[in-house]
Structure 1
Amino acid sequence: MRRLTLSLVGAALLATAAHANEAVIRKNLSERLPNLPRIDEVRPTPMRGLFEIRINGTDILYTDAEGNYLIQGALIDTKARVNLTDERLEKLTAIAFDELPLKDAFTVVRGNGQRKLAVFADPNCGFCKRFERDLAKLDNVTIHTFLYPVLGKDSEQKSRAIWCARDRNKAWDDWMQRGVTPPEPKADAKCDTTALERNIAFGQKYRITGTPTTILANGTRLPGAVGLDRLEPLLAQSGGAK
Structure 2
Amino acid sequence: MKKAALVATLGSLSMLACAQNDAPATPKQAAAAPAAAAAPAPKAGSADARAIEAVRKLNPQVRVEHVAAAPLPGFRELVVGGQTLYVSDDGQYLLQGSLYDLRQQKDLSDATLANLRKRLLAEVPKSERIVFAPANPRYTVSVFTDVECGYCRKLHNDIAEYNKLGIAVEYLAFPRMGPASEDFRIMEAVWCSNDRNKALTDSKNGKKPQATRCNNPVMAHWNLGRRVGLQGTPMIIAENGVAAPGYLSPAQLKQWLDTVLAGQ
* Contact 1:148 1:199 (C-alpha < 8 Å) held by counterparts: yes
Kindly state the Cα deviation for residue 154 of structure 1 after the two structures are TM-superposed: 2.7
Residues 38-78 of structure 1 show CA distances to partners (whole Å, capped at 9, x for unaligned) of 875342433x5x40242658653333343233333333445
Q: Pairwise mapping of residues 103-182 of structure 1 onto structure 2 (< 5 A)?
A: 103-110=127-134, 112-115=135-138, 116-137=140-161, 138-139=163-164, 142-152=168-178, 153-176=181-204, 179-182=205-208
Q: C-alpha offsets along residues 109-131 of structure 1, whole Å, 9 cap, x if unaligned?
A: 44x24343332201011110111
Is the counterpart of residue 54 in structure 1 residue 82 in structure 2? no
Q: Is the 8 A contact 2:47 2:76 kept in 1?
A: no
SS of residue in 1 equivalent to 2:244: strand
TM-score for both structures, normalised by structure 1: 0.66
Residue-pair matches, total = 209
Give the equivalent residue in structure 1 for 2:46. Answer: 23
Unaligned runs of 5+ in 2: 1-44
Following superposition, the deviation at residue 105 of structure 1 comes to 1.4
> Could you list the per-position Cα deviations for residues 61-98 of structure 1 after superposition, in whole angstroms to 9, with x for gaps in the alignment?
33334323333333344566654333332333335875
Letter in 2 for 1:62: Y
Contact 1:127-1:224 at 8 Å conserved across structures: no
SS of equivalent residue, structure 2 residue 112: helix
Give distance in 1, aligned partners of 2:50 and 2:91.
8
User: How far apart, CA to CA, are the structure 2 residues paired with 1:102 and 1:71?
Assistant: 37
Following the alignment from structure 1 to structure 2, what is the Cα–Cα distance between the partners of residues 141 and 80? 29
Are the aligned partners of 1:52 and 1:60 in contact in 2 as well (CA < 8 Å)?
no
Q: 1:64 to 1:207 in 2, by over 3 A?
A: closer
**Alpha-carbon contact 2:111-2:242 (below 8 Å) kept:** no
Matched, 1:210 2:232: yes
For the pair 1:221 / 2:247, whether they are aligned, the reply is no
Shift of 1:29: 7.3
In structure 1, the residue matched to 2:94 is 70
Q: CA RMSD in A?
A: 3.7
Larger Rg computed on CA atoms: 1
- Check the 8 A contact 1:118/1:145 in 2, yes or no: yes
Distance 1:204 1:180, change over 3 A: closer
From 35, 41, 46, give the equivalent of 2:67.
41
Extract unaligned runs of 5+ from structure 1. 1-21
1:194 pairs with 2:222: no
Aligned partners of 1:180, 1:107: CA distance in 2, in Å?
20
Question: Which residue identity does 2:137 align to in structure 1?
Answer: Q
* Cα separation, 1, equivalents of 2:226 and 2:168: 24
Q: Do the aligned partners of 1:160 and 1:193 also contact (CA within 8 Å) in 2?
A: no
The answer to which structure, 1 or 2, has the higher relative contact order (CA under 8 A, 6+ apart) is 2
CA contact (8 A) 1:51 1:64 kept: yes
- CA distance 1:211–1:218, change in 2 (3 Å): same
SS at match of 2:191: helix
